[in-house]
Amino acid sequence: MTLGPEMQSHLDDLLSDAMHSPQSRRTLMQRALAVGGAAGLAYVFPKAVFSQAATPEATPGGEAPGVHIAGGDVELADEQVIRLGMTEPKSMDPGVSTGYDELGIFFNIFDGLTGIDMATGEVVPRCADSWDVNEDATEYTFHLNPNVTWNNGDPITAADFEYSWKRVLDPDTLSLYRPAMHPIKNGLAIDSDTDPMDFNELGVTAIDDVTLQVQMEASCPYFPLLTSTWTYYPVPRAIVEEHGDAWVEAETILSNGPFKMVEWNHDQSIILEQSENYYGEKPTITRAEYTIFPDDSDQEYISFENDELDFAWPSASDLERIASDSEAMATIHQFAQSNCRFVTCDTKTAPTDNADFRRALYAAIDRDVIATTILKGTAVPALNVIPADIPGNNPEAVNPVGEEAAKAALEASGIDPATIELEYSYRVTNEIKLVAEYLEQRWPEVLGIKVKLNPIDAAAYSDYVSSRGDQPFNTKYGTWGSDFADPSNWHNQNFISASDHYYLSWKNEEYDALCAEAVSETDADARNELYRQAEVLLVHDAAYIPVYRGVASVAVKPWLVDFHVQPILAYAHLRLPKIAAH
Amino acid sequence: MLAIYTITFFLIHATPGSPWSNQDKPMPKAVTDRLNEAYGLNDPLWKQYIDYLTNVLRGDFGPSFTSRSRTVTDIIIDTFPTSLQLGIVAMVLAVIAGITLGTIGAVKHNTWIAYLSSFLAIIGISTPSYVVASLLVLFLASYLGLVPTNGWDGVASTKIIIPALALSFYPAAILARYTRSSLLDVLTTDYVRTARSKGLKDRAVIIRHALRNALLPVVTVGGVVFADIITGSFFVETISGVPGLGRYFVTSISTRDYPVVLGTVLLFGFVITLMNLIVDLIYPLLDPRITR
């Protein structure tokens, strides 16, 4: 272990860079899990899952969000081999994974009941040919394609899905993603702290080989979206039971997608090859070679520049370096992420229990400076909370901003700024630190208050947050990324007082009532309207002060065509892409 | 080794945070409780201390929290041979370069060649390996395109050039300095003067008589340096994409992967102890008086 003392100080920066750089999908992937008991919906994906919004206004400019490179009639290369980068997977078991870089592998080697069409973002059938749903969306019946098989040719039956879903809640599985099953009936009861139910009581039943019936805990109109995600993928029972946690190693793993994993050289590479037994349409790509980069490496984009990769995630510093190089910039594609970084305020403790004071904090932040100067274009300002690609978002749910508005709000609060020393706690990564330092300088400048920063080690931050329920704080960093294109994933999941995911003790009865009404509303327009009204209250109360949203950049070689990256779960899916002759 | 274990164990457990906490948003308590229970993290510290120690004595270093399909032993088996191979190649380079430079520096004392060698040694000591590695990637891979920017294919591949050079830079400089100062001392001793007065050639005096004695302190330092580089370097491995052990020393701490921290630290302690033993065994070969 060579780690000279002079290197030690660089270490934190390196590590934190890795945490924040857009190079890493991890930015998009602020892993999140639900707090059990969130009303109606207790389920969160690590990063936004589905970009395609249900309503047209969700895609401003009429362009599908994400990266979409058309193919057309191009001459194809003889060798359809794609080369990509990733980081070492945490768990290659879809029932366990919280959604790290292994997702990029999952999407290509596994098939769920449903999947997402990368070009349109819509839910499409995969293992299930079709499904029926009852009127209030509390019961689903999936009809499996009788031809679906594992990569070794063995058939997949409804019982495989029943086993795999129940296995997630089996205490022995030690899944990190148990809440994924909470929308299914008894999911929450199985995870009850006080009196847990047996995991076999989960509301999923294989009626026969090709029919899977699912009872929901509550109305869940977006369930077919959920079944396209990795926690709902089937796992091969015999192999799992024989090999335990190690079943996912390349020697033993069995999956059911268009590709199969043939090599996993830890910390080095993963090789996928087309599966000869795939029941669906065969992809054009025959082989995928993933180079595994260390978590905190800047080498991925350098490899791309050296023509060693076809697709890569440049870091912020890479982007700065190539900004004036038009040839290099031509390979860069940018898209807005479906997330929001905000300042959260303690509403049980002075001075942030004062809504006018919180609005003063909201107004004082110059979001353009953060987006363009501090974060150098890797962010866009956010004045409302819900991102534009989520239906029911309300871009008009904003408070007045600027120095005048800030001073007016401070005046209205009746608080003497000279008496205030405001603490701001944050998770120490580069990006978050930069913004914290801006706030430390900006709030005093505009409001005349003092600001004290309280940096918290990345590995200790979520412990800090979850201990704030009964302990005072002033303000702290918070973030959320869409898990799927439904506003309940934001409001009901996080902000209603029954969830209070960020431990702010914020309660607005009118807001809670609107969200409760919206989540069970089956008419999409009426539902979105209710959520738009709710967002006005959410932003007006300013317990959550939206600041900015991330912008992701990917680098794509010109010969990679029919290539799509969705802004939510932004991984390279290999079903559609082709390598053009070059 | 017990002291190393004890100190590491309590340090890592005294650090705030938990293996499941390294993210923006909290995990549900039900999930973390179950994980803590399964991995024994709910037990009192003294029990965890004894349990882990007993397991280690049985050869079981425990599971990795962050790489679920592997145990700590798997990780060490996967990564240590890589670091070892790379370290040996780097050490060979370092010994050749270091002793040559140091000898030149001592023999040509006060000439421009000596100054140049001292200058190179100082550069080597003061340049962090990540700078060297980055520069090598920039020149050898990006500009000249002689070698790939990163990767690992074993010792017999051009991919080893960048990490081996980067890794050997610092130890070479250290060895050069020790060789030089130790050789300078030896060159003024009586027996060297005797050897010269016998009419032996300069080359024979230096290699047969002076250098052999001068190497004693160099071997001592070399042992520690060698233990250091065969257990991997975080920066060099990170920059040149070598799947070695070094990165686990660092990432396991930031992710609070307790078993990996303990396993790697114990391994490091073991290697250091082993190298010291080997160094002690080499002394008598260089200087038979030591056995008496």
Q: What is the pLDDT of residues B148-198, one digit of tens each?
A: 877 788 777 788 888 888 888 888 998 888 888 888 888 888 888 888 788
Q: Which of B25, B149, B248 best tests the A interface by mutation, with the highest count of A CBs <10 A?
A: B25
- The 10s digit of each residue's pLDDT in B222-239 is 888 888 888 878 888 888
Helices (H), A121-236: 158-169, 187-190, 223-226
Residues of B in contact with A291 (CB under 8 A): 150-151, 241
Query: B169 lies in a domain?
Result: yes
Cβ burial of A471 (10 Å; 0-12, 13-18, 19+) is exposed
Q: Which structure tokens are listed for A20?
A: 């924040």
Which helix (H) or strand (E) segment holds residue B42: the answer is none
Residues A283 and A289 sit within 8 Å (Cβ to Cβ): no
In chain A, the percentage of residues whose pLDDT exceeds 70 is: 89
Check which CATH number belongs to the domain holding B276 and give it: 1.10.3720.10
Other CB atoms within 10 A of residue A242 CB = 11
CA distance readout (Å), A203 to A172, A185, A190, A195, B20:
19, 5, 11, 18, 28
- Secondary structure letter of residue A423 according to DSSP: E
The answer to which of A231-235, A400-404, A562-566 has the lowest mean pLDDT is A562-566
Looking at per-residue pLDDT, the higher value among A342 and A47 belongs to A342
**pTM of this structure:** 0.80
- Are A462 and B170 an interchain contact pair (Cβ–Cβ within 8 Å)? no
Query: B170 lies in a domain?
Result: yes
- Are A306 and B129 an interchain contact pair (Cβ–Cβ within 8 Å)? no
Q: What is the mean pLDDT of chain B?
A: 83
pLDDT band for A296, please (50, 70, 90 cuts). low
Q: What is the pLDDT of residue A393?
A: 94
Q: Which of B26, B66, B130 sits opposite A466 (nearest CB)?
A: B26
Residue B195, min C-alpha distance to chain A (Å): 41
Q: Which residue of B has its CA nearest to A252?
A: B69
Query: B51 lies in a domain?
Result: no
Query: B163 lies in a domain?
Result: yes
B84 touches chain A (CB under 8 A): no
A79-99 in b/e burial notation, b at 16+ Cβ within 10 A? Answer: ebebbbbbbbbbbbbbbbbbb
- Are A291 and B241 an interchain contact pair (Cβ–Cβ within 8 Å)? yes
Query: B109 lies in a domain?
Result: yes
Q: Which of B23, B232, B238 sits opposite A1 (nearest CB)?
A: B232
Q: Which residues pair with A206 in a beta bridge?
A: A212
Q: Which of A1, A306, A427 sits opposite B24 (nearest CB)?
A: A427
- Are A3 and B78 an interchain contact pair (Cβ–Cβ within 8 Å)? no
Q: Which residue of A has its CA nearest to B143?
A: A306
Chain A residues 180-209 with CB within 8 Å of chain B: 191-193
Query: B46 lies in a domain?
Result: no
Q: Is the pLDDT of residue A388 over 50?
A: yes
pLDDT band for B21, please (50, 70, 90 cuts). low
Domain count, chain B: 1
Query: B6 lies in a domain?
Result: no
ipTM above 0.90, yes or no: no
Residues B176 and B149 sit within 8 Å (Cβ to Cβ): no
Q: Which residue of A has its CA nearest to B149?
A: A303
Query: B102 lies in a domain?
Result: yes
In chain B, the percentage of residues whose pLDDT exceeds 90 is: 3
**Which residues make Cβ contacts (< 8 Å) with residue A75, sequence separation at least 6?**
A580, A581
Q: Which domain holds residue B196?
A: 72-291
Helix B258-286 / helix B45-57 crossing angle, nearest 10 deg:
50
A515 touches chain B (CB under 8 A): no
pLDDT band for B27, please (50, 70, 90 cuts). low
- Are B31 and A178 an interchain contact pair (Cβ–Cβ within 8 Å)? yes
Residue A4, min C-alpha distance to chain B (Å): 8
- Are A2 and B128 an interchain contact pair (Cβ–Cβ within 8 Å)? no
Helix B72-107 / helix B246-254 crossing angle, nearest 10 deg:
120
Residue A267: helix, strand or coil by DSSP? coil
In terms of residues, how long is chain A? 582
Q: Which residue of A has its CA nearest to B38?
A: A174
- Are B23 and A32 an interchain contact pair (Cβ–Cβ within 8 Å)? yes
Q: Is the pLDDT of residue B68 over 90?
A: no
Which helix (H) or strand (E) segment holds residue A564: the answer is strand A563-565
Say how far apart CA B191 and CA B144 lie, in whole Å. 50
B69 touches chain A (CB under 8 A): yes
- Are A10 and B23 an interchain contact pair (Cβ–Cβ within 8 Å)? no
CB contacts < 8 A, A to B, total 210
**Which residues make Cβ contacts (< 8 Å) with residue A345, sequence separation at least 6?**
A352, A358, A361, A474, A475, A504, A506, A542, A543, A544, A545
Q: What is the pLDDT of residue A44?
A: 34
Q: What is the pLDDT of residue A155?
A: 94
A427 touches chain B (CB under 8 A): yes
Q: Is the pLDDT of residue A48 over 80?
A: no
Residues A492 and A40 sit within 8 Å (Cβ to Cβ): yes
E strands, A283-363, in order: 287-293, 311-312, 332-336, 339-345
Chain B residues 223-252 with CB within 8 Å of chain A: 228-229, 231-241, 243-247, 249-251
Q: Which residue of B has its CA nearest to A33?
A: B27
Q: Is the pLDDT of residue B83 over 70?
A: yes
Q: What is the pLDDT of residue A412?
A: 93
Q: What is the pLDDT of residue A522?
A: 77
Q: Which residue of A has its CA nearest to B127?
A: A6
Mean pLDDT (whole number) for A544-558: 93
Q: Is the pLDDT of residue A408 over 90?
A: yes
Chain B residues 259-288 with CB within 8 Å of chain A: 264, 268
- Are A466 and B29 an interchain contact pair (Cβ–Cβ within 8 Å)? yes
A466 touches chain B (CB under 8 A): yes
